[in-house]
Chains A and B, each alone.
Chain A
Amino acid sequence: MVTVIEKGRAVYVIQDEQFSDADYLLLVKEVPAGHNDADGEACKWTALGFSWEYSLWPTIGERAGLCEVGRIRVNGDADLFNRSGVETMEGYVALYRDAISKAVDGKKLFERFSVTACIKIPGEGVAGVKDDCERDGLVKFLSEHLGVGTVPESEAIVPIDSLSAFKAAYSLSLRFPGADNRNPFVRFELKLKERVCEKVCV
């Protein structure tokens, strides 16, 4: 059964001067099956991975497997009976090889997308985070981007406008995926800016 329809993908490459290996940011545009609104609320850009290239491939491979068994449809119409688009693992892998080879400079990310991090802190607030290291990371991020001492009680929406902030927010989103309502969670929202003339998807 098709659960997700993949509408497009974009890869950004971020070269840090300190390290020889570049980081790759992999974004996909997805819509849950059954939603016909191609660019409506249901259709979202999500970050699949932000790491060295070879670390992205297990995720790509797993999604290729999901494509093979029909749980991801690629570039397909929302109509489930329209049998068009990539349907094999090899096709899916080729699609991502192409996308990675055409990776765009990471500085252009903020020209095309408005990125916000939504941070929710339920219950006892930041003090409720038991792990010292995780709590310090969260407090540091919030104080850097919202001002020192203004750690919110319940919810904060932080606009991300630099690659370093993006990196910090991404690692926080991995640490706080928000599986339950007791712990804080950090979630990304990537929205395509209006009047983007150039082609974003590969």
Chain B
Amino acid sequence: MSYTIEYNRKVYRVPGDYGAVSYLLLARRGDNNVFGSDGLRCKDWYLDFFGDVSDFWPHVGRNAGHCHGGGLQRAVGWMETKYISVEEYIAIYRKAFWAAKPITDIFSDFEVTLNVVLRGDKEKAMLLSDCHGPERAAALDKFFKEKGGSLSLSQNWYGNKTSEGFVVVKDLEGFREALQLKGRVSSLVEGFGGTVRIDFEAIGMRRRRRW
């Protein structure tokens, strides 16, 4: 049976308008059946949740429900996994929630990048100007120019031409803008087989297995 393994999690507090606080949850997850070239299971940090506390706990509860049938398990050591109960999963998240850090700490913990891939065909790569919704495409273009990034032409495994680019987000304003852009632009781009995603690469947290 295939299942998801949760390795780690981090919760950040994001201050909003009028004293409101939102929460950002990053979870390090991977599949039990997917291995990398180093012989270890592939795992990555994902943006699991961003929103109000009233939506945070229902989201955690739904994930906790997947633990009951073993669809979501905990990592133990390098290769082992452990079944956890719904209550144990909730307890882990209670601890993580109360240890929530201010959002500004995310930039010392992770290198945050906004990645955009626009997929074209064999002849021509898709450009931002080809997207439907010129306002949204212009907003993405403006963000790339302001942050010093650009979309460059490339080619994927199947020989289709793509235009790809990434921008390193270094401050809270940029992060907010990247989140908004992801929400606005993903429907625009994903319809054509492209992707818009925010990647989190942990700084100084990578451990290598000693053989």
Interface residues of chain A, those whose CB is within 8 Å of chain B, are: 52-66, 68-71, 89-90, 93
Please, which residues of chain B bring their CB within 8 A of the CB of A52?
69
Report yes or no: B90 in contact with A62, Cβ–Cβ below 8 A: no
- Which residue from B59, B68, B69, B70 sits with its C-beta under 8 Å from A65? B59
- Chain B interface main SS type: helix
Supplied contacts A61-B62, A68-B57, 5 more A-B pairs, CB within 8 Å: A54-B68, A61-B60, A68-B61, A69-B58, A93-B64
Q: What CA separation (Å) do A54 and B56 show in the bound complex?
A: 22
Question: Separation in Å of the B134 CB from the closest CB of chain A?
Answer: 30
Q: What CA separation (Å) do A63 and B59 show in the bound complex?
A: 10
- B109 interface residue (CB < 8 Å to A): no
Question: Separation in Å of the A59 CB from the closest CB of chain B?
Answer: 7
Question: Separation in Å of the B163 CB from the closest CB of chain A?
Answer: 36
Question: Separation in Å of the A49 CB from the closest CB of chain B?
Answer: 11
- Which residue from A55, A56, A63 sits with its C-beta under 8 Å from B61? A63
Report yes or no: B54 in contact with A61, Cβ–Cβ below 8 A: no
Question: Across the two chains, which residue of chain A brings its CB closest to B52?
Answer: A69
- Chain A interface main SS type: helix
Question: Separation in Å of the B113 CB from the closest CB of chain A?
Answer: 31
- Which residue from B53, B58, B70 sits with its C-beta under 8 Å from A66? B58
Please, which residues of chain A bring their CB within 8 A of the CB of B53?
69
Question: Separation in Å of the B211 CB from the closest CB of chain A?
Answer: 37
Q: What CA separation (Å) do A59 and B58 show in the bound complex?
A: 9
Number of A-B contacts (CB under 8 A): 72
Q: What CA separation (Å) do A133 and B66 show in the bound complex?
A: 29
Sorted nearest first, the 7 A-B pairs with minimum C-beta distance are: A54-B69, A61-B65, A65-B61, A58-B65, A65-B58, A61-B61, A65-B57
Report yes or no: B57 in contact with A57, Cβ–Cβ below 8 A: no
From B63, B65, B71, B90, residue with most partner A Cβ within 10 Å: B65
Report yes or no: B69 in contact with A57, Cβ–Cβ below 8 A: yes
Q: What CA separation (Å) do A62 and B55 show in the bound complex?
A: 10
Report yes or no: B61 in contact with A64, Cβ–Cβ below 8 A: yes
Report yes or no: B87 in contact with A58, Cβ–Cβ below 8 A: no
Please, which residues of chain B bring their CB within 8 A of the CB of A60?
61, 65
- 7 residue pairs A–B, Cβ–Cβ below 8 Å: A57-B66, A58-B65, A60-B61, A62-B59, A65-B57, A69-B53, A69-B56
Q: What CA separation (Å) do A90 and B70 show in the bound complex?
A: 19
Please, which residues of chain B bring their CB within 8 A of the CB of A90?
87, 90
Please, which residues of chain A bring their CB within 8 A of the CB of B61?
60-66, 68, 89
- Asked whether A55 and B58 contact (CB < 8 A) given A61-B63, A61-B64, A69-B53, the answer is no
Question: Separation in Å of the A87 CB from the closest CB of chain B?
Answer: 12
Question: Separation in Å of the B61 CB from the closest CB of chain A?
Answer: 3
Q: What CA separation (Å) do A195 and B67 show in the bound complex?
A: 40
Question: Separation in Å of the A37 CB from the closest CB of chain B?
Answer: 27
- Which residue from A53, A68, A70, A93 sits with its C-beta under 8 Å from B87? A93
Question: Separation in Å of the A61 CB from the closest CB of chain B?
Answer: 3
